[in-house]
Amino acid sequence: METKQFQAESKRLLEMMINSIYSQKEIFLRELISNASDAIDKIYYKALTDDQISFNQEDYFVKISANKADRTLHVVDTGIGMTKEELESNLGTIAKSGSLAFKNENEMKDGQEIIGQFGVGFYSSFMVADKVVVYTKSLNDEQGYKWESTGVEGYTIEPYDKEDVGTEIIIYIKENDEDVNYDDFLDEHQLKTIVKKYSDFIRYPIKMDVTEQKPKSDDDDELVEVTEEKTVNSMVPIWRKNKQELTDEDYNAFYQEKHFGFDNPLTHLHISVDGMVRFQSILYIPEQLPYDYYSKEFEKGLELYSNGVLIMEKSADLVPDHFSFLKGIVDSEDLSLNISREILQQDKQVKLIAKNIEKKVKNHLQSMLKNAREKYEKFFEAFGRQLKFGVYSDFGANKEKLQDLLLFYSSQEKKLVSLAEYVDRMPEDQKYIYYASGESHDRIEKLPQTEMLKDKGYEILYFTEEVDEFAIKMLMNYKEKEFKSVASGDLDLDDEETKKEAEKQKEEHKELLDHMKTLLGNKVKDVRLSTRLKSHPVCLTAEGDVSIEMEKVLKAMPDNQNIEANKILEINNKHDIFQSLVKIYETDPDKAALYTNILYNQALLIEGLPIEDPVAFSNDMCKVMV
């Protein structure tokens, strides 16, 4: 038996590998299974090009078994095996990948699924092993060999009479220590979970002896433990199957199996792209809002596979924030992986995939809006808020992409409408897209500011979510129509004659209005006669960028900077109360001050704003009642 030494650098490299490349110890099993799959792929490829070699699907598999008594884990494959030279160069030289060489020698191109490329994965077994033994017999050699190493001092190779072509790797699992429970790697259930997690879509069967409780006999309730050999992986990924052959049930079953949610998906997309970067993807939009969706705890992302092997459980970069509700998987053969396969070397491919996904999802949603309105509304009720955040965030960078996906409740239709629908039915004389903000549809419905607009037959969009106005301010206009709040300073509703009349009235009552403004001081920016009120005596409007609703939102934020709207108190000069006010102003200035305060506080109440001094207000009310 000859003992060969690792080169000094290799030794250090091995140490580094074992201790620092992989963040999770369980990865070693993924690496060994991938190697086994590569070894079978090689026979498969040989059989394609060599008539002497036959490939019967059922002869090719990977078998995993654990022996708790001697703490060994066995990974057996019926792949191509290794000659003595191959053992030396592949398992004796770190970073030498026989698989990569095989791919290059055979000029294997697209469609071939050889996974190995770095020549390091095998050594990850030393993360969990004191010793690794490899029994192997090559398809090209009569003689089998045994390779053995403790991963520190080097390795030995000696002839070994192995009957069948293929490889058996025996991992001598370490004893438990303070940090790691190595027993996990001998536990049937844990092993099965690891296989499912990383290697579920390896194309060949991964078999295990699985123990289950079963009735002793058909007509017996007594359960007994039965151990049977079972294939534990799914093998053919659903995303590689033909869309036409898959039913909604198949997609739903995959959603459940992957634990994407407890619900059924609302909709799915099956994408297969053959462009600059090739990838397949199955994406879902959940039916129900995940309980933590609008919280800091929620993490967006898709499962990322490279050639059917799991690379990342949540690749956040694959989905933009505005579509963070997406669940699903992406599989690409074009990813540049880093050595641990835990991160990606280049983000160029991920960016391309993400761009593609964003476009496809947007189109899918748009077609849903057009062809499956009810379903879309269901989606929007759950995730519409996120789309609005998307319009608002990043300084509106995505607003054009998202504007056609927005829905708002309409004063006329009494249901959700899109901006396109609104604009398409705007009367010719209507200049703006009007909206009103408030806590609920009911409250907005009763807002005094909406009266005149409704009279004119103008539709109003109701904003009940905090983000609504912020998003619309970012959007600024839609199809060249500006957005206007019903509570904005100037609604620009009147014809020339009405404007002239208003101007006249303003002059006439200037003194009274100025006096009221003086009485209210800084609480309002101005007191004006209203052109929007019909039956109500007063309302508050706002001038400038910050509306009254926005003031409420900003004040509720943790870093409240006391940003306030420029409020205008508007008075309806056609209302009886105004006539009384005019009279009282001439005869009883104190009472006029009392009326001014009451009217101002009423306007606050209508807007849902707090009254600064409720006791004073209550006293004022009493004074007018007695």
Ligand X SMILES: Nc1ncnc2c1ncn2[C@@H]1O[C@H](COP(=O)(O)OP(=O)(O)OP(=O)(O)O)[C@@H](O)[C@H]1O
Annotated binding site: 31, 35, 77, 82, 90, 96-98, 117-122, 167, 341
State the residue for tokens 């800084």. 522
Which of 92, 119, 151, 320 touches ligand X (CB under 6 A)?
119
**The residue to which tokens 């490329």 are assigned:** 117
Torsion sign over Cα 495, 499, 500, 502: positive
Q: Minimum Å distance from CB 62 to ligand X?
A: 9
For the bound state, the minimum distance from the C-beta of residue 94 to ligand X, rounded and expressed in Å, comes to 8
Residue 206 as a binder of ligand X (CB under 6 A): the answer is no
Q: Which of 561, 556, 557 is nearest to 608 (CA)?
A: 556
Query: What 8-state DSSP symbol labels residue 286?
Result: E
Give the C-alpha distances (Å, rounded to integers) separating 111 from 62, 108, 233, 344: 22, 8, 21, 21
Taking CB under 6 A as the criterion, the residue among 17, 27, 120, 206 binding ligand X is: 120
Give min distance, CB of 19 to ligand X, in A: 16
Contact stretch for ligand X (CB under 6 A) within 111-119, 157-165, 365-373, 401-409 = 111-119
User: Which residues within the stretch 135-174 sit at the binding site for ligand X (CB under 6 A)?
Assistant: 167
Residue 223 phi/psi, 5-degree rounding, is -100, 145
Nearest-5° Cα angle at 145, 143 to 147 = 170
Residues 4-33 that bind ligand X (CB under 6 A): 31
Fill in the per-residue mask, 29 to 58: x = in contact with ligand X (CB under 6 A), - = not in contact. Answer: --x--xxx--x-------------------
Task: Mark residue 179 as left, alpha or beta (left: phi above 0; alpha: psi -120 to 50; beta: remaining).
Answer: alpha
Judged by CB under 6 A, does residue 79 bind ligand X?
yes
**Residue with smaller CB distance to ligand X, 112 or 464:** 112
What's the closest the beta carbon of residue 68 comes to ligand X, in angstroms? 23
In angstroms, what is the minimal distance from the CB of 187 to ligand X?
23
Shortest Cβ 292–ligand X spacing (Å): 36
Q: DSSP secondary structure string, 431-463?
A: -SEEEEE-SSHHHHHT-GGGHHHHHTT--EEEE
Site size for ligand X (CB under 6 A): 25
For ligand X, the closer of residues 13 and 100 by Cβ is: 100
Element (H, E) at 257: helix 248-257
- Residue 177 burial (CB count, 10 A): 8
Please report whether residue 132 would count as binding ligand X according to CB under 6 A: no
Q: How far apart are CA 461 and CA 434, in angstroms?
A: 6
Closest residue (Cβ) to ligand X?
98
Distance between CA atoms of residues 560 and 130, nearest Å = 59
The smaller minimum CB distance to ligand X, of residues 91 and 568, is found at 91
The alpha carbon dihedral of 287, 290, 295, 296 has a sign of: negative
Q: Which stretch binds ligand X (CB under 6 A): 78-86, 170-178, 258-266, 297-305?
A: 78-86
Nearer to ligand X, 79 or 205 (CB): 79
Assess 306 for contact with ligand X (CB under 6 A): no
Tokens of 429: 């004389």
**Nearer to ligand X by C-beta: 39 or 444?**
39
The DSSP code sequence of 81-124 is ---HHHHHHHHHSTT--HHHHHHHHTT--TT------SS-GGGG
Single out the residue of 41, 77, 468, 469 in contact with ligand X (rule: CB under 6 A). 77
User: Residues marked as binding for ATP?
Assistant: 31, 35, 77, 82, 90, 96-98, 117-122, 167, 341
Smaller CB separation from ligand X, 103 or 399: 103
For residue 523, what is the DSSP state?
G
Site string for ligand X, 81-110 (x = CB under 6 A): xx-------xx-----xxxx----------
Residue 114 touching ligand X (CB under 6 A): no
Answer for the pair 450, 368: CB distance below 8 angstroms, yes or no.
Answer: no
Using CB under 6 A as the binding rule, whether residue 125 contacts ligand X is answered as no
> Nearer Cβ to ligand X, position 27 or 387?
27
Measured CA to CA, the distance from residue 45 to residue 139 in angstroms comes to 13
Q: Which is nearer to ligand X, 6 or 284 (CB)?
A: 6
CB of 97 to ligand X, least distance (A): 3
116 binds ligand X (CB under 6 A): yes
For ligand X, the closer CB: 139 or 420: 139
Q: Would you say 194 or 453 has its CB closer to ligand X?
A: 194
Looking at beta carbons only, is 341 or 484 nearer to ligand X?
Answer: 341
Report CA-CA distances (Å) from 509 to 91, 419, 483, 528. 96, 40, 31, 9
- Angle, nearest 10°, between helix axes 576-587 and 510-520? 80
3-state secondary structure 526-587: EEEECCCCCCCCEEEEEECCCCHHHHHHHHHCCCCCCCCCEEEEEECCCCHHHHHHHHHHHH
Alpha-carbon gap, residue 333 to 236, rounded angstroms? 15
The dihedral formed by the CA atoms of 245, 250, 252 and 257, expressed in degrees to the nearest 10: -140
Instruction: In angstroms, give the least distance from the CB of 561 to ligand X.
Output: 53
Taking a C-beta distance cutoff of 8 angstroms, is the pair 585, 515 a contact?
A: yes
With respect to ligand X, which residue has the nearer C-beta, 349 or 530? 349
Among 53, 72, 106, 118, binds ligand X (CB under 6 A): 118
Stretch of 119-127, 370-378, 462-470, 614-622 lying at the interface with ligand X (CB under 6 A): 119-127
CB of 82 to ligand X, least distance (A): 5
Q: Is 117 in the site for ligand X (CB under 6 A)?
A: yes
Q: Does 121 bind ligand X (CB under 6 A)?
A: yes
Q: What pairs with residue 527 in β-bridges?
A: 569
Contacting positions for ligand X (CB under 6 A): 31, 34-36, 39, 77, 79-82, 90-91, 97-100, 116-123, 167
